[in-house]
Structure 1
Amino acid sequence: LTLPFSLVVNLLPVDCDKRTDDFCQAKQKDVVMNVLHELYNYLSVQAGNFECGNPENLKSKCIWVSEAKDHVVNITGSSPQKFEAALHWILNSNKDLGIWLKGKDLSEQVTKVEEVFCLESAHPQMGLGCRFRRAVVTAIMNLFLFFCCLITLWGILLFLKYRWRKMEEEEQAMYEMVKKIIAVVQDHYKEWERNLERYPYVGIFHVRDSLIPPQSRKKMKRVWERAVDFLASNESRIQTESHRVAGEDMLVWRWTQPSYVSDSEH
């Protein structure tokens, strides 16, 4: 048979607080446990109300220690000392009692009962309807996040495919530009051999201007630069030199393979 809490308190001897016999110690522990039980229920209900629409307009799930003490003392009929004993029990216990003790600075850990500013339940008690609503909202949010991630991944994939296609197009355009440059430089050299040109070399920018119209030079800048680098690294028949032309130093290309060798190859 379990006695009501108020009856347990009334059955304690008057001086039991000062005695250390087994009976008083056990009864004192029962009192503290009942205080903890009531405190746990109160905090869990308050936290649940806060999570489920906050009908009491609570500012936080963390209930002021004075408010929690008044409630527990009023419900249990125990003394404020028993409430403080319950707080000591929480501080000294290595178990998770479902109650968090917090100070004014919520980021710092409380080590003394005097530092406790508010108490919060680690396990809010919510009704079936509230739990169902929260489950539905959580499911909808997770589904929304899933679709957001899916759309983001799809967008990244489309962007990568676009970049790969542009890189392939740029690569092909670069090779086409290399072919055109080789043809221009070779033709210029052949014309020089027939005394149709004054110099055996041709200015690099002159070749660019003859191959790319002015309105396309900005767009084709990267393709042109890649073609120039490719020729410098991979084409032995064209030599890059620096010459003074019309009083200015400029880079030129010279065809290094005689025409009879080129013709024999064909």
Structure 2
Amino acid sequence: MLIFLGILWVKMMGLGRLQGAEDSFKLLPVDCNKKTDEFCQAKQKSILMNMLYELYNYLAIQAGNFECGNPEKLKSKCILVSEARDYVANVTGTPPEEFGAALDWILTSNKDLGIWLKGKDPSEPVTSIDQVVCLESTRPRMGLICRFRRALTTAITTLFIFFWCLAALWGILIFLRYRWRKMEEEEQAMYEMVKKIIAIVQDHYKEWERNLERYPYVGILHVRDSLIPPQSRKKMKRVWERAVDFLASNESRIQTESHRVAGEDMLVWRWTQPSYLSDSEH
């Protein structure tokens, strides 16, 4: 009998406690609007986190679809605020007015939440939620096939750029080697031209000493015309000019003068070393 009464008392106490717990839940506020108690703050934060979670997933999926062929024909990865707000409100069941709190959380958070708030000018940072025009995910969510295709495309593009740069460097090297060889050939041709000019000017001076020439000098253009045929003068122009400059700055036996010949001023070369000195050097 005592055991029966004990069991009955325990049952009654348990039911009383359950009833008290139910009464306590009934006493909790249902509407947490403008309330600051811990329960309401936790509830509002939970709702906010749920909104951000759904928003993050939605933007990531839309950005991934845009990157992977754009099956939904999106104009941009940046989703308009109205579209994002309607989607979050439809999925979470929260009033659209609460969406501003989620945007404010993103704007004031120091963490990278993977959501980019854009204004009318994407280059300008957004400082208030009123300036937000659209939202874009910085971490697009793509399928395995899409990621593989993009990775393959990136690898092929990288290889193409690498081989293109390698070919360009090889081409530059070939061009430089060709240029160096041409410069060496041009310099050698210039020295050969200098030798021929010296020989002509010296021979002309010797002939003048033997009264075989009227003047002791010879026109520069006359020397050029005697050394370079007409069809090669354009090709040999640089070699000739370098030879003339070399003689002017490095050859003391030849002097450049200006004389009037046949009524026209003309640059001429004169051999300044007497013949007996020239012969003694050989």
The normalised TM-score by structure 2 is 0.88
Off by >4 Å, runs of 4+ in structure 1: none
Post-superposition offset of 1:107 = 2.3
Post-superposition offset of 1:12 = 7.8
Alignment of 1:1-266 (within 5 A): 13-266=29-282
**SS of residue matched to 2:33:** helix
**Residue number in structure 2 paired with 1:7:** none
Post-superposition offset of 1:249 = 1.3
Question: Over aligned residues, Cα RMSD in angstroms?
Answer: 1.3
Post-superposition offset of 1:14 = 3.4
CA distance in 2, matches of 1:100, 1:12: 37
Post-superposition offset of 1:213 = 0.8
Worse-superposed segment, 30-39 or 99-108: 99-108
Structure 1: stretches of 5+ with no match in the other structure:
1-10
- Deviations, residues 93-120 of structure 1 (Å, cap 9, x unaligned): 1111100111222222222212211111
**Residue number in structure 2 paired with 1:3:** none
How many aligned residue pairs are there? 256
Question: Higher Cα Rg: structure 1 or 2?
Answer: 2
Structure 2: stretches of 5+ with no match in the other structure:
1-26
CA distance in 1, matches of 2:187, 2:141: 65
**SS of residue matched to 1:16:** coil
**SS of residue matched to 1:151:** helix
- Report if aligned partners of 1:12, 1:27 keep a CA contact under 8 Å in 2: no
Amino acid in the other structure paired with 1:202 = V
Amino acid in the other structure paired with 2:172 = I
CA distance in 2, matches of 1:13, 1:116: 34
